[in-house]
Amino acid sequence: MQGISGQSVNISIIGASGYTGAELLRLLSFHPFANIVAVTSRQFEGKAVKEVFPHLSKMKFENLMFENYKKEKIAEKSDVIFLCLPHKTAYPIVKELYETKKELKIIDFSADFRFKNPEIYEKTYRVSHTAKKLFEKVAYGLPEINRDKIKEKNIIANPGCYPTSVILGLYPAKSAGLIDTSFPVIADSKSGVTGAGRKSTIDFTFCEVNESFRAYAVEGHRHAPEIAEKLELKSVRFTPHLVPMNRGILSTIYFATKSSREELIEVYKEYYKNEYFIRLKENPPKTSDVAGTNFCDIYVTKDENTGLGIVVSVIDNIGKGASGQAIQNMNIICGFPENSGLNFPGNWI
């Protein structure tokens, strides 16, 4: 494969000082084919990985120094770039990196290239996008529904954490035509606090999150249009909640359906039969089953009293919901076994 240096791949992480960056560093520490060549951070420039992240002492990349981002330098030495930047900040960097070295594989964690339709992006995120031409180079990086495109494209738009949990929970039913769309699809999602990123605001201090549970963005959240577009639904009702725990998303999903419990289960089994990271469960899963991993555990049933199909799906928001999925995408792009470096269990407790 062109652009990939033999059996191992040279990787740079832009914006590596947050939770998704730290998770990439953790996961790539034991990835058999990963060679991290650069980590960037304005804040931590000149510091070693082990200083910023003491839990990574004695690991392969412990002495790598955080550097300031310079496009030529980064582009030159990299085969794959993980871009852990916020929306709006990301697309100009994607653009200049692409222009500097066309054969680069760029995996973008932001929302900037997630939509097929840039106008929906602009409306949802209230910014204008000045790199629209690049959209033809982009694949939405949810392998279980889009693997072929991921193989072909240079820029991978790594999905949002909530959308990952909801889309994986609904895709088999939707694509099989089992959802009665005359009633709204409802995704009631609950997330651990790492989903908010590594930032210091009063709302995410320990004392104000701990021993409390809340809904937020009840009037509308940016992930709703992403979910709706990928599922080809006109709209979706999506309510996010904050759970006092670090990792994990659980989505409880409701949709009207004429199908029976058995039919639904059969369709999910068939759809996901070859997917390593999807585990269909006979009992409702809990977030601690998947915390720290790239797995998505799914439970499907039918409420006969109300005619509703019910799906419960769980992921780790910074695993399958971010950094794990990004590595899964890298594995696909690079022709590695798709679960390389990701075939380990969670801690559970």
Closest approach, Cβ 257 to a copy of itself, in A, equals: 12
Q: Which residues pair with 296 in a beta bridge?
A: 278
Q: Tell me how far apart the alpha carbons of residues 70 and 291 are, in angstroms, rounded to a whole number.
A: 34
The values of phi and psi at residue 167, to 5°, are -65, -45
Q: Active-site residues: which are they?
A: 161
Q: Tell me how far apart the alpha carbons of residues 12 and 39 are, in angstroms, rounded to a whole number.
A: 6
Establish how many alpha carbons lie within 13 A of residue 124's alpha carbon, considering only the half-sphere containing its beta carbon.
22
Q: Which is nearer to a copy of itself, 28 or 134 (CB)?
A: 28
Closest approach, Cβ 117 to a copy of itself, in A, equals: 17
Q: Which is nearer to a copy of itself, 153 or 221 (CB)?
A: 221
Give the residue carrying structure tokens 């996901």. Answer: 272
CB burial readout 203-233, b (16+ within 10 A) else e? eeeeeebeeeeeeeeeeebbbbbbbbbbbeb
Helix or strand or coil: residue 237? strand
Q: Tell me how far apart the alpha carbons of residues 285 and 93 are, in angstroms, rounded to a whole number.
A: 39
Closest approach, Cβ 72 to a copy of itself, in A, equals: 31
Closest approach, Cβ 98 to a copy of itself, in A, equals: 32
- Structure tokens of 86? 């916020």
Burial status of residue 18 (CB atoms within 10 A of its CB: 0-12, 13-18, 19 or more): buried
Q: Which is nearer to a copy of itself, 66 or 254 (CB)?
A: 254
CB burial readout 102-132, b (16+ within 10 A) else e? eebbbbbbbbbbbbeebeebeebbeeebebe
Q: Which is nearer to a copy of itself, 100 or 339 (CB)?
A: 339
Closest approach, Cβ 163 to a copy of itself, in A, equals: 16
Closest approach, Cβ 116 to a copy of itself, in A, equals: 19
